[in-house]
Structure 1
Amino acid sequence: MGTGPDLDPDLLAAFPEGCRHLAYLQSRIGYPVKPDMPGLTGLAGPEVEALYARGAAWLDGSASPLR
């Protein structure tokens, strides 16, 4: 079996665990990555609660998941 790619461990660690590898790749090809995206495990707070509330409203029939 071959070896994996060489990743910058400091840059990789700068992103939330749930999207770490995607954010890493996006940042390496020049896309801006929001540094304050809420994680969904082990975290609580208004950002995560708002995210879940928007999702629940959308599932309940809201016209937009952003409301």
Structure 2
Amino acid sequence: MKYEEIKTKIDYIVNNPIRRFKSEELKGIIERYHNNHPKSKEIFERMSRIIPGGVEHNLAFNHPFP
């Protein structure tokens, strides 16, 4: 991707309002994420019992799991 194309995309993102998902749509997205990343979910759940928040770096606040 060239600089101008990247800049155009960034400008579009920055200058448009945040799109909110409907609750049912978000539920489906999270369900697909869980189904597509079962190992990550398993590791996060295991680490949650050992490390507060399940992760020791700044990705701790990623939802549904880092």
Alignment TM class, shorter chain as reference: 0.3 to 0.5
Higher helix fraction: Structure 1 or Structure 2?
2
Larger Rg: 2
Using the size of structure 1 for normalisation, the TM-score is 0.32
Using the size of structure 2 for normalisation, the TM-score is 0.32
RCO higher in 1 or 2 (8 Å CA, sep ≥ 6)?
2
